[in-house]
Amino acid sequence: MSTRKISISQLRKGMFIHELDISWMKSPFLRHRRKIGSNNDIALLKKAGVKQLTIDLSRGDDLQTSTPESIEAPVIEENRVSEHEQQPEKEIPAPKATETKSKLTEELKIAKVLQSKIGKLVNQLASLVKDGQPISAQSITPVINEALESITRNDQALLTMLHLQRQDLKLSDHGFGVFAVTLPLALKLECSEEEINELGMAALLHDTGWARLPMHLFGKKKAYTTSEMTLIQQHPAIVENVLNKSADFPERVKLIVKQHHELGDGSGYPGKLKGDAVHKLTEILQVADAYDELMHGLMDKPGMLPSNALKKIYQAARSGQYSEVVVSAMIHVMGIFPLTSAIELSNGEKALVIEIDKQKPLLPRIQIVYQANGEASKEEKIIDLANQAEGEDIKIIKVIDPINDKDDPLNLLRVESV
């Protein structure tokens, strides 16, 4: 990859941003890495305080190749304030959702293909780990970039795929699930691009050591014996040993993989580490891993509703097992009612959560599945609880369990495909 550092005054349409000199949270865009499509983009970056940036010459224009059209004056003019009339910097409003997000239905098609690609990659990595063969970090980076681009277009598509019911308990599905949670969580916590890349690698690799263990123990759903527990606790070390043979893996990736089952109160394994001995990036992967395991029943207990998994992780954080900061960010990413949650409404209807409004987490977009009389909805009826028609005041009264035949007699609330 060929890059060049430039000043904001040199930025033009057609250039591809690789890195900015401000944090992700201060950026007007969800992702730093993006192609400049208009002079308005440049003006927003100036307003956000960008002074210098790095452009990727392999994915966009260089200084010499900028077109005359790209050097027009920005659409948004900068405020001219004299040194004697300095005013506090105004906060730039975030772009409207319609400007920055593709429709969820469109992005789900891409996410479905990406999920398959990620699953195949996890299987390939597990096969290499099983045979003790070295792994190339470069083979993982492209899929991380693809996932980040999907999150840029719509940050709920990959999370929707994560929440679908699984027919089988596969290592590849778990790898995808943890990966799909880790990236948006890392973005929310303002991790650097290097840290996000390392977390993405660790998420895909963290449980591949299971490939050398008896797979009937994966998702056993009942208590492990002492000998079984001793056996499964070997899986982080199995991956670590393979990564030590792999020349281009960052040391932090190895550390995150090694520590991903450590807990802040010292009750984890293999080192029973406590507090600051657990790396900050590991704390992110821990929470993502726990969420997927709890929801899909991948260890010694049956699966549970997404909302219950969040509640259990929150309680564990209060007792010191997980970082409360990370868990708080996790709840923000997932929403009060995570995607695909089955809910009962104040009007007696039952519905599925299909999209979350991060600004109004109690008021998601929902699809009605059961009418108030208990019959299946005869037509597609979607309600945006945050933008109801005048006179309507429909509320969510509870989350329901689609496994319960009484709550879901026609088996319509279990989401298995999109």
- pLDDT tens for each residue of 299-345: 777 788 888 899 999 999 999 999 999 999 998 898 888 888 899 99
Residues 128 and 235 placed together within one structural domain of the fold: yes
Q: Are residues 18 and 110 in the same domain?
A: no
The pairing of strands 382-384 and 365-370 is antiparallel
24 and 66 in a single domain? The answer is yes
- Among residues 55, 3, 5, 49, which one has the least CA distance to residue 27? 49
User: What's the domain count of the chain?
Assistant: 3
Residues 115 and 71 in one domain: no
Indicate the DSSP class of residue 271.
Answer: S
Domain housing 161: 102-334
pLDDT value, residue 300: 75
Does the residue 289 lie in any domain? yes
Tell me: do 164 and 221 sit in the same domain: yes
Same domain as 314, residue 382: no
State pLDDT tens for residues 121-154.
Answer: 999 999 999 999 999 999 999 999 999 999 999 9
d(CA 85, CA 90): 14
Mean pLDDT, all residues of the chain:
85
Residue 417 has a pLDDT of 54
pLDDT digits (tens, 9 = 90+) for 82-130: 333 333 333 333 333 333 356 888 898 999 999 999 999 999 999 999 9
Are residue 148 and residue 223 in the same domain, yes or no? yes
52 and 129 fall within a common domain: no
Of 135, 242, 252, nearest in space to 186 by CA = 252
Q: Examine residue 37 and state whether it is found in any structural domain, yes or no.
A: yes
Considering the domain architecture, whether residues 175 and 119 belong to the same structural domain is answered as yes
Task: Please check whether residues 152 and 198 belong to one and the same domain.
Answer: yes
Tokens representing 302 are 């049956």
Q: What is the pLDDT of residue 256?
A: 97
Residue 351: what residue type?
A
Shared domain check, 352 and 326: no
We report the CATH number of the domain holding residue 277 as 1.10.3210.10
CB 180 within 8 A of CB 289: no
Is residue 249 in a domain? yes
> Comparing 98 with 36, which gets the higher pLDDT?
36
In a domain, 327, yes or no: yes
C-alpha 148/C-alpha 199 separation (Å) is: 12
From 76, 110, 131, the end of a domain falls on 76
With 0-12 CB in 10 A as exposed, 13-18 as middle and 19+ as buried, what is 378?
Answer: exposed
Q: Which residues, in sequence order, are CB contacts of 184 under 8 Å at separation 6+?
A: 151, 155, 158, 159, 333
Lowest-pLDDT choice from 70-79, 103-112, 217-226, 403-412 = 70-79
Amino acid identity of residue 238, one-letter, is: I
- The answer on 113 and 243 residing in a single domain is yes
In a domain? residue 299: yes
Q: Which of 297, 318, 334 is the last residue of a domain?
A: 334
